[in-house]
Amino acid sequence: MTEHTSYSIQPADFTLTAIGRVASDYPDKFGVPRQPGLAPAGRGILHLLPPFDAPQAVRGLENVSHLWLTFIFHRSPQRWTPLVRPPRLGGNTRIGVFATRSTHRPNRLGLSLVRLEKIEIENGVRLHLSGHDLIDGTPVLDIKPYLPWVESHPDAQAGFAPGPPPGYRVDFSAKAEAALAQRDDEESLRDLIVQVLGQDPRPAYHQDTPARVYGVSLRDVNVRFCIQGDADSLRMHVVDIE
């Protein structure tokens, strides 16, 4: 193993092409789960794009339960800084970008483990996903099967985010309940709202303004919610579903 100081003069740029795009329950950045799997009710469809949409390319995926998606954080700025402020540290502590999963990173590459629910191969290839954290329109660069015997390390040390964030209770106003009751997707939309709000999607620097009503876009609705209770018994209250 040599030091290879000549590396820096080798060509280092690569042009990559989206193999597909995601149609997602999450129209905007605000409300997207901070990791995949935190909102199992989150649905998405990965549409493969030509020339990557041959049904043969997904042959064998019917026996695979979890997929790695490598994608571009296309709504994040291209600029990056060596230090970022993760929400899990309250938004005040700065840490190295490569020690985080921040979207503000060189190359804007994302990596998400998602569940594969269904494969459609009529009129193009569509992979139905759940438990994802991808914004609508996300360009996907690669799909790989998850290998549990290589990639499952329950005892790994994960630095500042050793476990899932705390979950908060979510309740609904009578008006919000009435709006939900009129939906065909009542049950799955309720699950999605509880899972997304339960993680407290507010940016860290907003957590001192309890009176404010926030709006989060999920599917085709705007979910308006506020914070109730004190620090020890915080809950998310859904005011309305528009």
Name which of residues 20 to 49 contact its own copies (CB under 8 A): 21, 23-25, 35-38, 43-45, 47, 49
**If binding is defined by CB under 8 A, does position 204 make contact with its own copies?**
no
Stretch that binds its own copies, among 139-147, 172-180, 194-202, 228-236 (CB under 8 A): 139-147
CB of 240 to its own copies, least distance (A): 21
Report how far residue 35's alpha carbon sits from residue 55's, in angstroms, rounded to the nearest whole number. Answer: 29
The answer for residues whose C-beta is within 8 angstroms of residue 1's C-beta and 6 or more apart is: none
Farthest CA pair distance, the chain:
68
Site for its own copies in 161-190 (CB under 8 A): 161-164
Which residue number, 148 or 230, has a Cβ lying nearer to its own copies? 148
**If binding is defined by CB under 8 A, does position 13 make contact with its own copies?**
yes
Are 132 and 118 a contacting pair, CB within 8 Å? no
Site for its own copies in 97-116 (CB under 8 A): 97-101, 105-109, 111, 113
Report how far residue 201's alpha carbon sits from residue 214's, in angstroms, rounded to the nearest whole number. Answer: 10
Assess whether the previous peptide bond of 50 is cis (omega < 30° from 0).
no
Size of the site for its own copies (CB under 8 A): 89
**If binding is defined by CB under 8 A, does position 137 make contact with its own copies?**
yes
Which pair of structure tokens corresponds to residue 127?
């992979």
